[in-house]
Structure 1
Amino acid sequence: MPSERLRPALVWQIAARDLLSTIRDRRTLNATILMPMILIPLFTLGLPLMLGSFIGGQQQERQKLGVVGELPPALRAALTKDETLADGTLVRAGVILEPVPDARAAVQSGTVDAAVQPATPIPTQAGHAQGTLEVYAKLNNMRAQAGAYSKVQDVVNAYNRTLTLDRLKTMGLDAGVLTPVTLKSVDASPPQEQRSGQLAFLVPMLMLQFILSGAMATAVDATAGEKERGTLESLLVAPVRRGEVVAGKLLATTITALTSACFSVLGFILSGLLVGVFTRGRSGASAEITQAMGGQLTLGVGGALALLGVALSAALLISALLITVGIYARSFKEAQTYIAPLSLAIVLPAVMLQFSDFLTLNTGLYALPLFGGMLTLLEIVRGSVTLSHVGVAILANLVGTTLLGLLARRSFNREEIIFRN
């Protein structure tokens, strides 16, 4: 009985054959190399920049505030006053007060961004009757929330504090009596987690997405594409074992998947450098939000090796899954139809990683193929990973790869699957 051991030379020849087919397609190369370098900085830097510019822009823009009735002169002056830094930089622009007959109608028609109406007289001194100021705004509108509505809230809070402090002075007291206990927030997160930012969950999500997109083109072309072109039969009649065919195609698919993963890591590093360049020496809402959300990917040698190991095991698992699906499909188009829902099954759990802080993490979650790897990647980015979690996640992915590889090998041995068109 001939030996069933795989012959590395033949496995590599099959892999090289499929890789050559992939390299010839420039669109695949663009999706594997250029897209991670472009899209990742756009997501991790462009989104915080856009959000920061939006919020900061609304604070520096003058909105129209409708007024029904009379407001105390001090409150009117505070609403229209500009807030600037010592160097003259505008932090928050005052609003433009416009008398309106109906506050609700003025907001609904878009005449003003928000409107205020005293339900009871607004006091000019603390300690007298309490007044109520109604604020009309479209509360589900982010522009209104970040602009006129936010300014009214800030100004009224400052007005209340001013009246209270004036009242305390007449009583011989200082502002300290209002806050006998003060809070001081201290971020206890590891330094790496602080640098990773609030969008750290995007790292495993985008990395898995680019692994999937990088593996997809090679896997489908090497299975369903070859069946459709009729070139798979010539390979199977050659003096190679079916296991070597599966191993070669798995190797080629994994290489393209890992190539995409490597460029996605470079994209995150580039994004972190751009965040540092943008926020250096800048202040204001835009810079603060960009720094808090964008974050930077900083890894030591151990973290880089752990990330590489988890990414490699995830690439093997995804590649084995795509090859299994591709060899079952009759055509390239049918394979794409099968893979579309599979891609959602991979991406959706990655999106849910933003809520991972609410999960009770135990070994069982890390033993879930692929999802355990996503959790581990997130911990690596945040600098809180443990060696046991890395080992369990990699082992789970390798077990899944082995099972899918055996299923793919079985499919290659069944003529009704190989030769059906």
Structure 2
Amino acid sequence: MRSEGRPSQGIRSNMVWRIATRDLLSTLRDRRTLSATILMPLILIPALSLGLPLLLGSFIGGQQQERQKVGVVGTLPQELRTALEQDEKVNGKTVRAGVTLVSVKDPTQAVQSGDVEAAIQAPTALPTRAGEGSAALEVYAKLSSLRAQAGAYGKVQDVVDSYNRTLTLDRLEGLGLGADTLTPVTIKSIDASPAQEQRSGQLAFLIPFLMLQFILSGGMATAIDATAGEKERGTLESLLVSPVRRAEVVTGKLLATTITALTSACFSVVGFVISGLVAAMFVNNRDGLGAEITSSMGGQLTLTPGGTLGMLGLAASAALIISAVLIAIGIYARSFKEAQTYIAPLTLVIVLPAVMLQFADFLTLNTAVYAVPLFGSMVSILNIVKGAAQADQILLAILANLIGAALLSLLALRSFGREEVIFRN
């Protein structure tokens, strides 16, 4: 069954496409693979990049607009009670509801039992004017609870800070001084980030992570089925004894795997674009804290023509090297399940570096980083999303992927040429 004696003139493109089409048709028959390649990117990406900020914004915004019960032990000045109970409105719309004050005996027990979300214990008498001394107003709450931080506890903090400032300004006015006496120097924050980076949001690091993750998941089914799967079914033997060169078999299977991986990557980009459009519509049609969180965290994916070309080049080269890895591992495995076991750790190779991207601002990235296969692609994709990409860095990342893919393809070709590997099941 050895084929070393066959002529080695070159790879015939028509034979490569016939093998690739054969493997692609086998993939298309599996509905689960189609779901993982097309539907999952369109569903999961908007759910993660848009649903998470929407959920967080709705939660925090809902707590701000909901009235919570706050227990009181002792006597509060009337001005402070009024400020705590009063709603804050902007253009007639309530942006932060006040709290409902109720008397309690034991503030700790009241909070722990859930009767109130926070409790205030006032000393004998709180100062009603600045300069009359100071007193500690004890606030009881479950400080590890995000609900308390966004709701009752946060409201009490804000109102007390505002109350202190009001007393101080009244005292300054009596002395003939203005409010700027307290803040002779103020800070005006101006975001100097590129406009595209401002739109990308704080979850921009998810884009390269999810894109490469879907490239892996999209190509995995085709690669395993075309190698270990065919070994199990016995169809690989008939293919190798046919008048086709081993290099054509490897190239065809690599092409089929790359196409399915790229298809998944394309739909992941579509998912990000949909997320950006929906986020923009949500922010434009809704005011308040929820919209602000959605805008700052979710962001929008906007690409220039050059950025689009760079993204496609990076995705294609990443799909090629990942496909080469999958083919090399798949042909070595004895069975479909064994191939899945070998390929499972590859997820960590993508996940761990992608998690580091959220701390990219703390890292000093030199040119050598872009020469690392896959990781250089992740960094380059993140730069494109933020509008800070450079052409030489993108080209270096693509070149690194292509070199890695070539070496892995040679490894796969060598495995296809060894009968102890082909027939080891």
> Which of the five TM-score ranges fits, normalised by the shorter chain?
over 0.9
Q: Deviations over 1:177-210 (max 9, x none)?
A: 1111111111111111111111111111111111
Equivalent in the alignment of 1:323: 327
Distance 1:121 1:232 in 2: 88
Which amino acid in the other structure matches residue 320 of structure 1?
A
Following superposition of structure 1 onto structure 2, how do residues 339-418 of structure 1 map, counting pairs within 5 Å? 339-418=343-422
Say whether the 8 Å CA contact 1:218–1:252 is kept in structure 2.
yes
Pick the aligned partner of 1:84 from 80, 89, 108.
89
Equivalent in the alignment of 1:40: 45
Equivalent in the alignment of 2:212: 208
Distance 2:40 2:267 in 1: 9
Q: Deviations over 1:228-276 (max 9, x none)?
A: 1111111111122212111111100000000111111111111111111
Distance 2:339 2:285 in 1: 51
- Does residue 12 in structure 1 map to residue 17 in structure 2? yes
Say whether the 8 Å CA contact 2:74–2:124 is kept in structure 1.
no
Distance 1:90 1:17 in 2: 62
Say whether the 8 Å CA contact 1:197–1:295 is kept in structure 2.
yes
Shift of 1:344: 2.3
Decide which moves more: 201-210 or 341-350: 341-350
Q: Deviations over 1:36-87 (max 9, x none)?
A: 112211112111111100000000111111112221111111111111122x
Equivalent in the alignment of 1:173: 177
**Cα distance 1:245–1:162, how it changes in 2: closer, same or farther (>3 A)?**
same
Equivalent in the alignment of 1:31: 36
Equivalent in the alignment of 2:260: 256
Pick the aligned partner of 2:201 from 197, 204, 210.
197
**Cα distance 1:332–1:119, how it changes in 2: closer, same or farther (>3 A)?**
farther
Shift of 1:120: 6.9
Shift of 1:334: 1.1
Decide which moves more: 181-190 or 3-12: 3-12
Distance 2:155 2:411 in 1: 62
Alignment TM-score, normalising by the size of structure 2: 0.96
Equivalent in the alignment of 2:244: 240
Distance 2:110 2:423 in 1: 71
Pick the aligned partner of 2:77 from 65, 72, 83.
72
Structure 1 runs not aligned, ≥5 long: none
Pick the aligned partner of 1:219 from 217, 223, 229.
223
Distance 2:386 2:196 in 1: 6
| Partner SS, residue 115 of structure 1 | strand
Shift of 1:406: 1.2
Shift of 1:119: 5.2
Shift of 1:9: 1.4
Equivalent in the alignment of 2:63: 58
Say whether the 8 Å CA contact 2:74–2:123 is kept in structure 1.
no
Say whether the 8 Å CA contact 1:56–1:286 is kept in structure 2.
yes
Shift of 1:116: 1.6
**Cα distance 1:119–1:395, how it changes in 2: closer, same or farther (>3 A)?**
farther
Distance 2:354 2:87 in 1: 44
Structure 2 runs not aligned, ≥5 long: none
Alignment TM-score, normalising by the size of structure 1: 0.97
Q: Deviations over 1:289-320 (max 9, x none)?
A: 11111111111111100000000110001111
Say whether the 8 Å CA contact 1:195–1:295 is kept in structure 2.
yes
- Does residue 420 in structure 1 map to residue 424 in structure 2? yes
- Does residue 284 in structure 1 map to residue 285 in structure 2? no
Q: Deviations over 1:110-155 (max 9, x none)?
A: 2211112235742110011111112111111111111111101100
Which amino acid in the other structure matches residue 357 of structure 1?
D
Aligned residue-pair number: 420
Identity between Structure 1 and Structure 2 (%): 70
Which amino acid in the other structure matches residue 253 of structure 2?
K
Say whether the 8 Å CA contact 2:196–2:385 is kept in structure 1.
yes
Decide which moves more: 112-121 or 102-111: 112-121
Distance 2:8 2:86 in 1: 86
Give me the CA root mean square deviation.
1.3
Distance 1:119 1:13 in 2: 85
Which amino acid in the other structure matches residue 17 of structure 1?
R
Distance 1:342 1:175 in 2: 60
**Cα distance 1:21–1:126, how it changes in 2: closer, same or farther (>3 A)?**
same
Distance 1:417 1:408 in 2: 11
Say whether the 8 Å CA contact 2:75–2:124 is kept in structure 1.
no
Say whether the 8 Å CA contact 2:61–2:289 is kept in structure 1.
yes
